[in-house]
């Protein structure tokens, strides 16, 4: 660092220790508890700490050596209002700028007003309080290193589609090229596409934050839709955070209703409803997430397995006992781990071999599209209580066009009394597919191909739960233990 003072060198040595630990950087770099604006604060909120921890793990797992490019870090956060998104943006900017010499970044938001008065204002404010703030100069649109203004900087840019070229050509071969999108739901897809071109060299990073105001578009796809598995994504409910005005939130819920689109977007961090053609309504799912699970003693434990269609998909294993699909947590295995089906067979064997009463599976139903060989191998291993189910085969009920519609229809009816996990993947999967009726007036669910065209992910978790409704499974027979006869003299007792 040119002309660095001795204190600056000491600071640089300490800050360098946080290269792969942004949470430690935030805890060290700002004057927490000291007189002034942060006197009443001890550090990041819980959700911010979790985000920074994940970011650090992403850095460590890639192990960038300064020469060989690594895969991009992609992180997306959908949330309600007032949780401290702009503050986190500022921390991430300060951490990258302070730990990665000659990094280059672009910051944008849905409107120029948001960018200028919220996002960029937060960056200026927190950089001014940062222990490394003296290294940088902040203007109205640019933050740069005082000694390397042309190679070590980030800038604020409008996200208007006609300004997309401003996001092109950003490269930092031996450092980090980064993009930060605030209120990303309203940022045009074109801007995301151009930014992807800056994620090819060095240690690239891209971050997207915002309210999920749209049930479509790039931000929806990376948080709830077809691209969610490529991103580290999360949905934050404002009620779980420290900063939001809880009285205001309670008033919104009273005025609009817990599962209204207003509360879904502004409080719960979820997208608005999919619309009238949504097969399973959001209210039904919302109630099932909060209902106490119920089952009878002789209800069988049924297991549904949706097998990954490729390395980017997931193998999902879900369990249901009567009206309880919550008590046993689902198992999710990345498709890349099961290119060789041996691993999946081994995991399913463990599930079927579990003899603990509460985990003893009565029957396992496996998606036949890619699970046929898996079921054959399970049979060879002696597990006869596993069956493959063809989603396109004939429905047992004439009112549904195929087996997929039959299972989803049974699941929809079950949700009126059933209990499910409060799981973002399952919720978006259940409420994703649309429906129509064919010429014979039979129910037909929207195809996965058509869902993909709308930017929705393949409903792996939804299909896994639906598979538990493939067939009726006999109740569990209670084991009756008769006392062992004892011989006493000439009498058996």
Q: Is the pLDDT of residue 89 over 80?
A: yes
The predicted structure's pLDDT at residue 111? 84
User: Is 325 in the same domain as 262?
Assistant: no
Q: How many domains does the chain have?
A: 2
Q: Is 95 helix (H, G, I), strand (E, B) or coil?
A: helix
Alpha-carbon distances of 250 from 79, 148, 235, 244, 269, rounded to whole Å: 17, 49, 19, 11, 15
Q: How far apart are CA 451 and CA 442, in angstroms?
A: 20
The predicted structure's pLDDT at residue 141? 94
Q: Looking at the domain assignment, is residue 73 inside a domain?
A: yes
Average pLDDT, whole number, for the chain? 91
Burial tier of 295 (Cβ tally within 10 Å: 0-12, 13-18, 19+): middle
Are 389 and 427 in contact by the 8 Å Cβ rule? The answer is no
User: Is 324 in the same domain as 441?
Assistant: yes
Banded pLDDT at 324 (limits 50, 70, 90): very high
Q: Is 205 helix (H, G, I), strand (E, B) or coil?
A: strand
The predicted structure's pLDDT at residue 276? 58
Residue 213 belongs to domain with CATH number: 3.40.50.300
**Of residues 315, 303, 312, the one with CA closest to residue 341:** 315
User: How confident is the model over 131-160, as a mean pLDDT?
Assistant: 95
Which tens digits make up the pLDDT trace of 438-471? 998 999 999 989 888 888 888 999 999 999 999 9
Instruction: Name the one residue in this structure whose structure tokens are 């189910």.
Output: 389
The predicted structure's pLDDT at residue 204? 97
Q: Is the pLDDT of residue 487 over 50?
A: no
The predicted structure's pLDDT at residue 91? 98
Q: Is the pLDDT of residue 311 over 80?
A: no
Banded pLDDT at 174 (limits 50, 70, 90): very high
User: Is 327 in the same domain as 452?
Assistant: yes
Q: How far apart are CA 104 and CA 97, in angstroms?
A: 8
The predicted structure's pLDDT at residue 482? 46
Q: Is 149 helix (H, G, I), strand (E, B) or coil?
A: coil
Q: Is the pLDDT of residue 481 over 70?
A: no
Q: Residue 375 sits in which domain range?
A: 282-469
User: Is 401 in the same domain as 442?
Assistant: yes
User: Is 246 in the same domain as 357?
Assistant: no
Q: Is the pLDDT of residue 401 over 90?
A: yes
User: How confident is the model over 414-422, as a mean pLDDT?
Assistant: 94
Q: Looking at the domain assignment, is residue 219 inside a domain?
A: yes
Q: Looking at the domain assignment, is residue 476 inside a domain?
A: no
User: How confident is the model over 209-226, as a mean pLDDT?
Assistant: 90
Q: Looking at the domain assignment, is residue 43 inside a domain?
A: no
Helix, strand, coil tally for the chain in percent (to 5): 40, 15, 45
236 membership: H or E segment, kind and range: strand 232-236
DSSP letter assigned to residue 331: E
Q: Looking at the domain assignment, is residue 21 inside a domain?
A: no
Are 351 and 329 in contact by the 8 Å Cβ rule? The answer is no
Q: Is the pLDDT of residue 361 over 90?
A: yes
The predicted structure's pLDDT at residue 344? 93
Residue 437 belongs to domain with CATH number: 3.30.420.240
In the listed set 205, 233, 266, which residue is the last one of a domain according to the structure?
266
Q: Cα 295 from chain centroid?
A: 30
User: Is 367 in the same domain as 392?
Assistant: yes
The predicted structure's pLDDT at residue 488? 40
User: How confident is the model over 464-484, as a mean pLDDT?
Assistant: 80
Burial tier of 453 (Cβ tally within 10 Å: 0-12, 13-18, 19+): exposed
Q: How far apart are CA 340 and CA 342, in angstroms?
A: 5
Rounded (5°) CA angle 349-351-352? 65
| pLDDT-above-90 percentage for the chain | 73
Are 253 and 382 in contact by the 8 Å Cβ rule? The answer is no
DSSP letter assigned to residue 102: T
User: Is 242 in the same domain as 143?
Assistant: yes
The predicted structure's pLDDT at residue 486? 44
Q: Looking at the domain assignment, is residue 233 inside a domain?
A: yes
Q: How far apart are CA 195 and CA 167, in angstroms?
A: 6
Which tens digits make up the pLDDT trace of 371-391? 889 999 999 999 999 999 999
User: How confident is the model over 278-306, as a mean pLDDT?
Assistant: 91
Which tens digits make up the pLDDT trace of 12-44? 999 999 999 999 999 999 999 999 999 999 999
| pLDDT-above-70 percentage for the chain | 94
**Of residues 65, 86, 66, 64, the one with CA closest to residue 77:** 86
User: Is 407 in the same domain as 374?
Assistant: yes
User: Is 338 in the same domain as 365?
Assistant: yes
Q: How far apart are CA 109 and CA 137, in angstroms?
A: 21
Length of the chain as a residue count? 493
Helices and strands per DSSP (H, E), number in the chain: 17, 19
Q: Distance between terminal CA atoms of the chain?
A: 93
Query: Kind of pairing, strands 301-306 and 314-321?
Result: antiparallel
In the listed set 266, 290, 311, which residue is the last one of a domain according to the structure?
266
Banded pLDDT at 4 (limits 50, 70, 90): low
User: Is 239 in the same domain as 310?
Assistant: no
Question: Rounded to 10 degrees, what is the CA torsion of 224, 229, 234, 235?
Answer: 10
User: Is 210 in the same domain as 161?
Assistant: yes
Q: Cα 225 from chain centroid?
A: 10
The predicted structure's pLDDT at residue 478? 64
User: Is 336 in the same domain as 360?
Assistant: yes
Rounded (5°) CA angle 422-426-430? 120
Largest CA distance in the chain: 106
Q: Looking at the domain assignment, is residue 72 inside a domain?
A: yes
């Amino acid at each position: 660092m040119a002309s660095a003072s001795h204190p600056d060198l000491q600071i640089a040595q300490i800050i360098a220790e946080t290269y792969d630990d942004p949470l430690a950087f935030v805890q060290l770099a700002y004057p927490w508890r000291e007189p002034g604006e942060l006197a009443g604060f001890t550090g990041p909120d819980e959700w911010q700490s979790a985000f920074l921890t994940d970011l650090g793990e992403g850095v460590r797992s890639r192990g960038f050596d300064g020469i060989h490019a690594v895969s991009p870090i992609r992180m997306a956060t959908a949330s309600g209002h007032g949780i401290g998104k702009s503050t986190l943006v500022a921390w991430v900017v300060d951490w990258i700028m302070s730990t990665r010499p000659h990094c280059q970044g672009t910051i944008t938001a849905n409107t120029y007003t948001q960018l200028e008065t919220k996002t960029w204002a937060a960056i200026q404010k927190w950089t001014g309080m940062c222990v490394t703030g003296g290294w940088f100069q902040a203007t109205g649109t640019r933050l740069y290193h005082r000694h390397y203004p042309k190679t070590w900087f980030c800038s604020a840019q409008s996200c208007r589609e006609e300004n997309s070229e401003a996001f092109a050509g950003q490269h930092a071969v031996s450092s980090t090229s980064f993009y930060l999108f605030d209120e990303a739901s309203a940022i045009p897809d074109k801007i995301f596409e151009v930014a992807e071109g800056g994620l090819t060299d060095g240690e690239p990073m891209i971050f997207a934050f915002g309210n999920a105001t749209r049930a479509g578009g790039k931000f929806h796809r990376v948080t709830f839709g077809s691209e969610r598995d490529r991103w580290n994504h999360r949905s934050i409910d404002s009620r779980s955070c420290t900063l939001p005005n809880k009285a205001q939130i309670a008033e919104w819920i009273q005025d609009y209703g817990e599962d209204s689109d207003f509360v879904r977007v502004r409080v719960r961090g979820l997208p608005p409803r999919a619309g009238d053609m949504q097969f399973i309504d959001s209210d039904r799912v919302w109630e099932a997430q909060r209902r106490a699970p119920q089952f009878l003693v002789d209800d069988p434990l049924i297991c549904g397995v949706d097998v990954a269609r490729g390395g980017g998909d997931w193998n999902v294993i879900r369990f249901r006992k009567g009206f309880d699909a919550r008590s046993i947590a689902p198992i999710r295995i990345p498709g890349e781990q099961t290119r060789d089906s041996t691993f999946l067979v081994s995991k399913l064997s463990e599930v079927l071999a579990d003899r603990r009463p509460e985990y003893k599976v009565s029957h396992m139903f496996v998606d036949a599209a890619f699970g046929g060989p898996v079921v054959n191998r399970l049979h060879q291993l002696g597990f006869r209580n596993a069956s493959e189910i063809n989603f396109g085969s004939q429905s047992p009920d004439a009112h549904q066009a195929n087996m997929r519609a039959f299972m989803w229809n049974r699941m929809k009816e079950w949700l009126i009394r059933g209990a499910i996990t409060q799981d973002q993947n399952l919720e978006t999967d259940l409420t994703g597919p649309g429906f129509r009726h064919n010429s014979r007036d039979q129910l037909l669910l929207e195809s996965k191909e058509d869902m993909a065209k709308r930017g929705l992910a393949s409903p792996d978790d939804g299909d896994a739960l639906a598979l538990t409704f493939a067939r009726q499974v006999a109740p569990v027979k209670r084991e009756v233990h008769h006392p062992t006869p004892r011989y006493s003299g000439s009498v058996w007792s």
